[in-house]
């Protein structure tokens, strides 16, 4: 009886071994697809740009310099001292005139700037701007622009606000957009790479031109500059 049972056990083991020998490995898989779209973001750390012609003191000037330097009471006085009376004929009349005295102008950099703390930039010795634009994007080509909205309500026809568009070039700001920095492939204009991937900085430097220094009334006025970035 014991012998019979042992034989059956051996036969079963042989059958099982044969079944394993004939089996094959079977595999299946799942494909994971990843799609990350293009993005463009722009930020500025320049909160307020002050041109205070009644100020006694000024802050540090930036990369771009002007003949009359930073706006202040002293530099404004220097500007007026250099101007001359109107060249056109002067007519005596009983009502206020409407013509602007605009034969001469004076330009100034900001009295002071206030940053908003959104980010900081460590510039090399080459740059010392008022502030900066930070462009975050994964596109290869982009253009950062600026325009005024709203414009000055009181002195818009009497002054020109200019912004740096290249290292030694300025462009007049208006309600129309003007490029202040760009990237085309590996070519950067008024912009720099940073230590972060997909991050670029654009130095911001502003100049206020008094187009009609003798015609400007005693007034406090303000305007706003809006920045946009787009891929052509």
For residue 177, what pLDDT band results from cuts at 50, 70 and 90?
very high
Q: Residue 156's pLDDT band (boundaries 50, 70, 90)?
A: very high
Q: Which CATH architecture has domain 40-83+101-230?
A: Sandwich (2.60)
To the nearest 10°, report the CA torsion of 58, 61, 208, 68. Answer: 80
Domain layout of the chain by residue ranges: 40-83+101-230
Query: Could you read off the pLDDT of 73-96 as tens digits, one per residue?
Result: 999 999 999 999 988 889 999 999
| pLDDT bucket at 199, cuts 50 / 70 / 90 | very high
Q: Give the span between the Cα atoms of 119 and 115, in whole angstroms.
A: 9
Q: What is the pLDDT of residue 4?
A: 52
- Residue 51, pLDDT > 90, answer yes
Say yes or no to pLDDT of 171 above 80: yes
**Distance between CA 201 and CA 121 in Å, rounded?**
8
Q: Are 76 and 53 in contact (CB under 8 A)?
A: yes
Mean pLDDT score across all residues of the chain: 91
CA distance 211 to 48: 22
The rounded distance, in Å, linking the Cα atoms of 193 and 203 is: 12
- pLDDT tens digit string along 96-132? 999 999 889 999 999 999 999 999 999 987 889 999 9
Rounding to the nearest 10 degrees, give the CA dihedral for residues 183, 189, 191, 197.
30
Q: Is residue 223 predicted with pLDDT exceeding 70?
A: yes
pLDDT at 184 over 80: yes
Q: By three-state DSSP, how is residue 107 classified?
A: strand
The encoded tokens of residue 216 equal 């400007």
Neighbours of 66 (CB within 10 A): 18
Q: What is the mean pLDDT of residues 57-79?
A: 90
- Tell me, yes or no, if the pTM score tops 0.75: yes
Tens digits of per-residue pLDDT, 17-48? 555 556 688 999 999 999 999 999 999 999 99
**For position 15, what pLDDT does the model report?**
53
Q: Is the pLDDT of residue 12 over 90?
A: no
Return d(Cα 190, Cα 168) in angstroms, integer: 10
The structure tokens listed for 188 are 């950067």
Per-residue model confidence (pLDDT) at position 168: 86
Residue 201 has pLDDT above 70, yes or no: yes
| Confidence label for 231 from pLDDT (cuts 50, 70 and 90) | very high
Cα separations in angstroms, 230 against 1, 11, 38, 86, 129: 92, 79, 11, 45, 23
Quote the CA–CA distance of 161 and 148 in Å, as a whole number.
9
């Amino acid at each position: 009886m014991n012998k019979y049972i042992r034989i059956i056990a051996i036969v079963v083991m042989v059958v099982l071994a044969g079944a394993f020998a004939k089996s094959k490995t079977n595999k299946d898989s799942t494909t994971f697809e990843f799609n990350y779209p293009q993005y463009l973001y722009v930020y500025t750390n320049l909160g307020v740009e002050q041109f205070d012609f009644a100020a006694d003191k000024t802050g540090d000037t930036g990369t771009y310099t002007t003949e009359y330097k930073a706006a202040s009471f002293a530099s404004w006085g220097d500007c007026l001292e250099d101007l001359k009376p109107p060249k056109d004929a002067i007519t005596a009349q009983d009502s206020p005139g409407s013509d602007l005295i605009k034969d001469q102008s004076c330009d100034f950099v900001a009295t002071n700037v206030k940053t908003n703390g959104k980010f900081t930039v460590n510039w090399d010795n080459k740059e010392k701007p008022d502030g900066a634009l930070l462009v975050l994007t994964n596109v290869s080509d982009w253009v950062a622009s600026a325009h005024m909205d709203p414009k000055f309500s009181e002195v818009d026809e009497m002054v020109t606000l200019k912004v740096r568009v290249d290292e030694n070039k300025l462009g007049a700001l208006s309600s129309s957009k003007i490029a202040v920095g760009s990237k085309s492939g590996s070519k950067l204009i008024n912009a720099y790479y940073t230590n972060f991937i997909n991050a670029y900085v654009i130095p911001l430097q502003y100049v206020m031109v008094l187009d009609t220094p003798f015609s400007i009334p005693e007034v406090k006025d303000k305007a706003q500059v809006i920045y946009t970035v787009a891929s052509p």
